[in-house]
Amino acid sequence: MLNAYVTTDDPLHDFFEDDRRKEEWLKGRPVCASCGEPIQEEMAYMIAGEYYCEHCIRAAKTYLPD
Ligand SMILES: [Zn+2]
């Protein structure tokens, strides 16, 4: 997870610093093979060596009537 960011007495600096750290954190995350978004959850699905996010797995769920 994200580390708690260091606060200074400059709220604007803290805001941008937090944003920058989050972006850096996201770059280190595995990317969903379907939507291409970094997976932010602690759990993901791995299918045939590729990561898939929860959203894409749900979207892929198909009803198969008898
Ligand atoms: Zn996805």
Q: What is the predicted pLDDT for the residue at 2?
A: 55
Please say if the pLDDT value at position 44 is more than 60.
Answer: yes
20 CA → ligand 1 middle, Å = 23
Question: Is-above-0.95 flag for pTM?
Answer: no
Alpha carbon dihedral 5, 6, 9, 10, in 10-degree steps, equals -50
43 CA → ligand 1 middle, Å = 12
- The domain spans of the chain are 1-30, 31-66
Selected residue with higher pLDDT from 7 and 34: 34
38 CA → ligand 1 middle, Å = 8
pLDDT per residue as tens digits for the range 5-31: 678 899 999 999 999 999 999 999 999
44 CA → ligand 1 middle, Å = 9
23 CA → ligand 1 middle, Å = 18
Q: What is the predicted pLDDT for the residue at 7?
A: 83
Q: What is the predicted pLDDT for the residue at 51?
A: 97
